[in-house]
Amino acid sequence: MKVSLQELRELFKPKLRPIQWEDSNNTLVLLDQSALPFQTTYVTLKDPEEVASAIKSMKVRGAPAIGITAAYGMVLALTSRNPNTLEEALRVLSNAKQVLDRARPTAVNLSWATSHMLNLSKEAIQDGKVRNVSELLVALKDEAGRIFQDELDAELQMGLYGAERLNDGDTVLTQCNAGGLATGTGLGTALAPVRVAHALGMKVSVIAPETRPWLQGSRLTVYELMADNIPVTLVTDTAVGLVMYRGMVQHVMVGADRILSDGHVFNKIGTFKEAVIAHELGIPFYVLAPVSTFDLKSRVEEVEIEERDPNEVRTVRGVPIAPERVKVYNPVFDVTPPRYITAIITEKGVIHPPFDKNVRKVVGR
């Protein structure tokens, strides 16, 4: 594809701004994704506890977006607690990291971002790069801004790699929302190739499953693609087999919350089913994620899969759809084994099987 990253940067001026840092009063302003698309409301956060609660209640969600938000949560630890010494500042930051990391367990970007901010603080103090708390605060604000900018650049690169696989007229099946809302940048991971192809004048479209129970597909993916005039068709989660069987899908592209060194991919519940059907029907199945989504240490059985409130399943946005006291199991992520994955697209390159050898070569941490 004959377009440079710089040209793409010029092309994309994202309209959506789900995460905004307000420097004048040290607050973090989030577009409330739990209210979309029915209401466009914003929440203003002042300390790490408020940030953790916004992540838990999914006012902000999507692995990269909660990573960026958590990085700002670390900044808010300093602005809300006002430590007097650098030693006290490090204590405040480690406490904030604990509060933030507990908010949601599966997406590794969260603890990646808080560890990154804490380690950077320790190193800057040790190396004498910051001499007081005000200098540390400036360094942390800069770093949170850099994490945001790096994420956007990573998505542009992944968008380019992914778009190279698309042909004019293709339809991409996704799952959940791995778009600009989920990453905070307005672009996205799984939706980046479609956005890049669309911006370059190709005719491409998306099939978005509803993604029960939280409806990220019908509320968020549909909303953001329609806002950008990218053709999208909404289907129920139970229709994905048929749309693939009928040849309505040329590629599956999904995001990830955590990818292990052997290529196991944790993503929104329903992803595994899409991967198996795609494999059976010979449809390429791509996972798109920045390197901050890789966890090279954990084994598959060690990763906690978040289970959420049973009422998310007993009701649809407050309206009962099952007997009130029915027993419910509500895991919100699943794990796709590497054998179903065609390739994993990162900003550092495209990883092909065998993943247990090739993940480390590309991600290299």
Sort strands 205-209 and 171-173 into parallel, antiparallel or unpaired.
parallel
The verdict on whether residue 267 carries a ligand-binding annotation is: yes
* Least distance from ligand MRU to the Cβ atom of residue 129, Å: 32
The verdict on whether residue 157 carries a ligand-binding annotation is: no
- Judged by beta carbon, residue 140 or residue 184, the one nearer ligand MRU is 184
- Judged by beta carbon, residue 216 or residue 261, the one nearer ligand MRU is 216
The residues near 361 (Cβ < 8 Å, ≥ 6 apart) are 351
The verdict on whether residue 6 carries a ligand-binding annotation is: no
* Least distance from ligand MRU to the Cβ atom of residue 45, Å: 17
* Least distance from ligand MRU to the Cβ atom of residue 274, Å: 12
The verdict on whether residue 268 carries a ligand-binding annotation is: yes
* Least distance from ligand MRU to the Cβ atom of residue 215, Å: 10
Neighbour-count burial of 205, counting CB atoms closer than 10 A to its CB (0-12 exposed, 13-18 middle, 19+ buried) = middle
- Residue in the structure block whose two tokens are 């029960």: 212
The verdict on whether residue 246 carries a ligand-binding annotation is: no
Neighbour-count burial of 275, counting CB atoms closer than 10 A to its CB (0-12 exposed, 13-18 middle, 19+ buried) = buried
Token pair in block for residue 296 = 């090279």
- Judged by beta carbon, residue 261 or residue 336, the one nearer ligand MRU is 336
DSSP state of 331: B
Q: Which residues are at the interface with ligand MRU (CB under 6 A)?
A: 61-64, 107, 176, 178, 182-183, 188-189, 216, 255-257, 267-268, 332
57: left (phi over 0), alpha (psi -120 to 50) or beta: alpha
The verdict on whether residue 314 carries a ligand-binding annotation is: no
In this chain, which residue has its C-beta nearest to ligand MRU?
A: 255
CA nearest to 33, candidates 57, 9, 6: 57
- Judged by beta carbon, residue 62 or residue 263, the one nearer ligand MRU is 62
CA nearest to 93, candidates 119, 118, 112, 128: 118
Catalytic annotation, pick one of 257, 262, 309, 334: 257
- Judged by beta carbon, residue 65 or residue 117, the one nearer ligand MRU is 65
**For residues 197 and 219, is the Cβ–Cβ distance under 8 A?**
no
The verdict on whether residue 63 carries a ligand-binding annotation is: yes
- Judged by beta carbon, residue 120 or residue 256, the one nearer ligand MRU is 256
Q: Residue 181 in 3-state DSSP?
A: helix
257 in active site: yes
Q: Where are the alpha helices (DSSP H) in 257-326?
A: 271-281, 311-314
The residues near 4 (Cβ < 8 Å, ≥ 6 apart) are none
Sign of CA dihedral 135, 136, 141, 143: positive
CA–CA dist 116, 100 (Å, integer): 13
* Least distance from ligand MRU to the Cβ atom of residue 290, Å: 9
HSE of 359 in the Cβ direction (CA atoms, 13 Å)?
23
* Least distance from ligand MRU to the Cβ atom of residue 131, Å: 38
Sequence ranges of the binding site for substrate: 61-63, 104, 216, 267-268
Sequence ranges of the binding site: 61-63, 104, 216, 267-268
- Active site (catalytic) residues: 257
